[in-house]
Amino acid sequence: MPYEVKDINLAEQGLRNLEWAEIQMGALLKVRERFAKEQPLKGYRIGMALHVTKETAILVRTLIAGGAEVAIASCNPLSTQDDAAAALASEDVRVYAYKGETREDYYRFIEEVIRFKPHVTIDDGCDLISEIHTKYPELIQDIICGCEETTTGVIRLRAMEQDGALKYPVIAVNDCQTKHLMDNYYGTGQSSLDGVLRASNVLISGNILVVAGYGNCGKGVALRGKGFGANVIVTEVDAFRALQAKMDGFRVMPMAEAAVEGDIFITVTGDLHAISMDHIRTMKDGAILANSGHFDNEVDVRGLEKAASAKRAIRPLFDEYVVDGKRVFLCGEGRLVNLACAEGHPSTVMSLSFCDQALGVEYGIAHRDELEPKVYQLPPEIDQHVAELQLEAMDIRIDELTEEQKKYLSSWQEGT
């Protein structure tokens, strides 16, 4: 079986990490058990561009248990866990990924997945779908559907749909309630700070943490920053979210003002240059910059590279730049700090996101005749089912509506 990984000898450690991930992914294991019995994916080829982590490996095992064949590349040059990639290769999965991929290898690996002629695509950031649409349109006739994991990918897909450029149906797994709650909020909250800590080991408490963006990810980062004892400032462009941040107890101000005050900056906006060179020039000596949005353009890293009079690596994935005589420190080259500098979201979080992915694939295949080339949400009952699976995995039971309550909720006659 073909594969390209950093070192196949890492497989033993990788398999142990997969075992540890599985212990925390009870909900996904339930899906896997059912898939193994029912074989809903039998005969289908699934091409994936996801972060190649121990958690993703458990999704791969789930899809294979359901009868699929899988090929996987990474969706970010810095996020691969080399031992997890080696573990997958040792299980005869076509895996093309290593941490620190060159741009050429990144796209060559995505091409390997495309050459596998997938019937279903799974993306995190839309690079696989975008490559297929722009360079291999002849393959689209055999593609049933795609699934997309992240906000940035869904934004790109909606733009494709609006332009009439999207040629097969895609399920926006990102938009599930279970994904938003667990992954964007709790996952990004914990793992972003984990990334900053592993890169720098700085004390968060007593520092001013500037969080750019107050979507679900930003809310999680701000909450965890506060929990660590930081004085949190939020910057936003959306009035409602800014108001929410203020009501949640954070200071809110434009980045131009926050830049002067902040000690640690984390961007989670999904947009370009939330931190520009103009902002960086006004920062304190010693400011720490990190990005937790999908692409490495939220901090103007290219501008920083040009403007710096000196640059050196202080420690792995923690670089010092000197700009106008002041030092700024950049975590993980400005790429997703949680995956570049730490291990991404914890396994329990990814269990839910990947239940949504696995059930999204099953849904897309089962409804192939009804779906058009549009962006779809996963039906709410599937989302609810994923929440139920997780409650079951945590051994938590909840109440059920009584007949009387159901009747009350569906009637309009009863008032004061």
Distances, alpha carbon 83 to alpha carbons 1, 11, 18, 53, 111, in Å: 18, 6, 9, 9, 22
**Shortest gap between Cβ of 361 and ligand ADE (angstroms)?**
16
Stretch that binds ligand ADE, among 7-15, 51-59, 245-253, 397-405 (CB under 6 A): 51-59
Largest CA distance in the chain: 73
The answer to whether 51 contacts ligand ADE (rule: CB under 6 A) is yes
DSSP string, 168-209: S-EEEGGGSHHHIIIIIIIIHHHHHHHHHHHHH----TTSEE
**Shortest gap between Cβ of 22 and ligand ADE (angstroms)?**
13
Q: What three-state secondary structure class fits 265?
A: strand
Stretch that binds ligand ADE, among 34-42, 135-143, 239-247, 338-346 (CB under 6 A): 338-346
176 or 339: whose CB is closer to ligand ADE?
A: 339
128 or 255: whose CB is closer to ligand ADE?
A: 128
Site for ligand ADE, residues 53 to 112, rule: CB under 6 A:
53, 55-56
Instruction: Return the ∠ at Cα 305 (arms to 304 and 310), rounded to 5°.
Output: 100
122 or 232: whose CB is closer to ligand ADE?
A: 122
Beta strands, E only, 50-197: 69-73, 94-96, 120-123, 145-148, 170-172
**Shortest gap between Cβ of 192 and ligand ADE (angstroms)?**
10
Site for ligand ADE, residues 189 to 218, rule: CB under 6 A:
none
Stretch that binds ligand ADE, among 8-16, 239-247, 342-350, 367-375 (CB under 6 A): 342-350
178 or 207: whose CB is closer to ligand ADE?
A: 178
Q: Among 110, 56, 119, 43, which residue's Cα sits nearest to residue 88?
A: 56
Helix 347-366, helix 380-393: angle, nearest 10: 140
Stretch that binds ligand ADE, among 52-60, 101-109, 199-207, 384-392 (CB under 6 A): 52-60
Residues 57, 72: Cα–Cα separation, whole Å: 10
Inter-residue contact 299 to 243 (CB < 8 Å): no
Inter-residue contact 49 to 122 (CB < 8 Å): yes
Binding mask 10-49 for ligand ADE (x = CB under 6 A): ----------------------------------------
**Shortest gap between Cβ of 287 and ligand ADE (angstroms)?**
25
Inter-residue contact 46 to 119 (CB < 8 Å): yes
74 or 130: whose CB is closer to ligand ADE?
A: 74
- For residue 337, give every residue at least 6 positions away whose Cβ sits within 8 Å of its Cβ, in sequence order, or none: 192, 195, 196, 199, 266, 290, 291, 292, 331
DSSP string, 271-324: STTSB-HHHHHTSPTTEEEEE-SSSTTSB-HHHHHHH-SEEEEEETTEEEEEET
**Shortest gap between Cβ of 397 and ligand ADE (angstroms)?**
28
Binding mask 345-384 for ligand ADE (x = CB under 6 A): x----x----------------------------------
**Shortest gap between Cβ of 394 and ligand ADE (angstroms)?**
19
**Shortest gap between Cβ of 317 and ligand ADE (angstroms)?**
16
Q: Return the amino acid letter for 97.
A: A
48 or 211: whose CB is closer to ligand ADE?
A: 48
Stretch that binds ligand ADE, among 158-166, 208-216, 273-281, 343-351 (CB under 6 A): 343-351
Residues forming contacts to ligand ADE in the complex (CB under 6 A) are 50-51, 53, 55-56, 339, 344-345, 350
